Amino acid sequence: MPHDENLTADRPTFVSHLECAMTGERYEADRLHGLSRVGRPLLVRYDLAGVRGALARETLAARPADLWKYRELLPVRHTRNIVSLGESATPIVPLDKEPGNVWVKDEGRLPTGSFKARGLVMAIAMAKELGVTTIAMPTNGNAGAAAAAYAARAGIEAVIFCPDDTPEINVREIAAQGARVYRVNGLIDDCGKIVGAGKEARGWFDLSTLKEPYRIEGKKTMGLELAEQFGWELPDAIFYPTGGGTGLIGMWKAFDEMEALGWIGSRRPRMYAVQAEGCAPIVRAFETGERHATRWEGAHTVAAGIRVPQAVGDFLILDAVRASGGKALAVSDAALIAAADDSARRDGLLLCPEGGATLAAYRDALATGLVDAEEKVVLFNCATGLKYPLADASRWLDRHAPVDWAEL
């Protein structure tokens, strides 16, 4: 099979309609949509009986290992509208030096160096298919970089707004890939308000998290991929760094779709939504029994990707966590930094701060009995650690001076 078969071969599509995640109201497919009439995310629904008749697990196994192998469960109708920078399957790497049976799904191997590539490649491909010419979005860094890259690939104009303390490499990466990027003296939801105003004033299409239906569809491939990598047996627990929560929502959707297709059974992983103590709206809502999370004031954490004061899909995150028997957990910046440092030094795996947060949360969960050492646990590392400033631990050696070998 050609290496680009998933990108070039025509395959049947099975999207039936879109549906409001809150009310269940149906919306017509193949039209441009943002949020539903009640201001909630729209979910893509498929003719799963049709998919079941057209696609077997064995067929998937023979296809090239990339995101687009799941075409029948993705929304892009026409092959010509596929956009790609090479979204290969990401590895699951065991952390041998950690106690228990813990694995990292290392999303930093994707194009643009983060799992945002999954969601944004789908959102941009559908924007292309539906005739969008300019997209705008807020970002804490990695999503904006992915949007800029795929928009450039698709010939779509991109306008990106980010907090003024966004990691510098992200800001420069966004600009290097052709987007107009603006630093804003505020948080990501402040940037989102500017996008909303610009949508009205300039006619931009708002590509913000969950304000269009298709990022979830790209992110759900993490769940499809994980099931396939583990021989169609899901792990016992998943620790997911949670800001907007699109990936957690998407995986939960993927599990339901796979069960309907007969690919997996009814058993689900316990989902642990991991946040930083300095920005933990989902944790607070979980602990107080609320279905919606109020805005977290004064949000601060070194893990920029999970510094989201309020998520439009809060109820979907909380529903999935509760239905799974999982929990929302918060960790300190000190703990997530230490965990990322340990992973690099002991296991050679360079986690981003958000990935470090999942390892810190896993350690806490193991210590308190939330997870058992015999259980199979997957942590999501959402980006390469190279996206963030690294401490300089090098030493100086003067090649002209005598070498003190005892000190080396």
Domains and CATH numbers, the chain: 5-81 (no CATH), 92-113+220-387 (3.40.50.1100), 116-206 (3.40.50.1100)
Q: Is 93 helix (H, G, I), strand (E, B) or coil?
A: strand
DSSP label at 346?
A: I
- Characterize the bridge pairing of strands 134-138 and 376-381: unpaired
Residue 16's pLDDT is 98
Residue 274's pLDDT is 98
Residue 250's pLDDT is 98
Each residue of 180-209: pLDDT tens digit? Answer: 999 999 999 999 999 999 999 999 999 999
How far is Cα 114 from Cα 136, in angstroms, rounded to an integer? 19
Task: Say if CB 95 and CB 343 are below 8 A apart.
Answer: yes
Residue with tokens 């070498």: 403
Each residue of 351-382: pLDDT tens digit? Answer: 999 999 999 999 999 999 999 999 999 999 99
Residue 1's pLDDT is 81
Task: Say if CB 129 and CB 226 are below 8 A apart.
Answer: no
Task: Say if CB 195 and CB 161 are below 8 A apart.
Answer: yes
Structure tokens at 57: 């697990």
DSSP label at 187?
A: -
Residue 389's pLDDT is 87
Picking from 275, 263, 371, the residue whose alpha carbon sits closest to that of residue 328 is 275
Picking from 65, 212, 184, the residue whose alpha carbon sits closest to that of residue 126 is 212
Residue 356's pLDDT is 98
Task: Say if CB 385 and CB 344 are below 8 A apart.
Answer: yes
Residue 207's pLDDT is 97
Taking 70 as the pLDDT cut, the residues of the chain under it are none
